[in-house]
Amino acid sequence: MYDMYRELILDHAKNPRNHGLLDPADIDFEGHNPLCGDRLHLTLRVDENNRITEVGWDGEGCAISQASASLLGEEVIGKTLDEVKSINKEQIFEMLGIPLSMNRIKCALLSLKVLKVGAYGLAEWQQQEADEEEE
């Protein structure tokens, strides 16, 4: 049962990496998970090649949503915005490495949603969701 709270998740949730907002930032976006009230505010700095140099974020929510933000932040530093575009839901699930029940998927994906909407706009995220939806 406590797979969901394995060491990695608890470590990232308790000691979030890249915590704290960047000011100024090149990308700045805040999103919410309406079901449980998780909140994530993400800021990014990119260099002249659109490569992400710094990540800073702030938010509150469950261990899953916070750990996901922390893990994703680490993952994207050094990648270009183009490269980040290809990160999908499956990769987030893999990163977390835990089984997620239906109602927790939204918690896990808040970080990805905020990143994608912030970097590419809502339409892009909706398109990605539509592409990934089997139904």
**Candidate ranges 6-14, 46-54, 68-76, 102-110; the one touching other proteins (CB under 8 A):** 102-110
Tell whether residue 10 is a contact of other proteins (CB under 8 A): no
Alpha helix stretches (DSSP H) within the chain: 7-14, 63-76, 81-85, 89-96, 102-120, 122-132
Tell whether residue 32 is a contact of other proteins (CB under 8 A): yes
Cα dihedral 58, 60, 65, 71, rounded to 10, equals 30
Tell whether residue 102 is a contact of other proteins (CB under 8 A): yes
Tell whether residue 35 is a contact of other proteins (CB under 8 A): yes
Positions that interact with other proteins (CB under 8 A): 32, 34-35, 101-104, 130, 133, 135
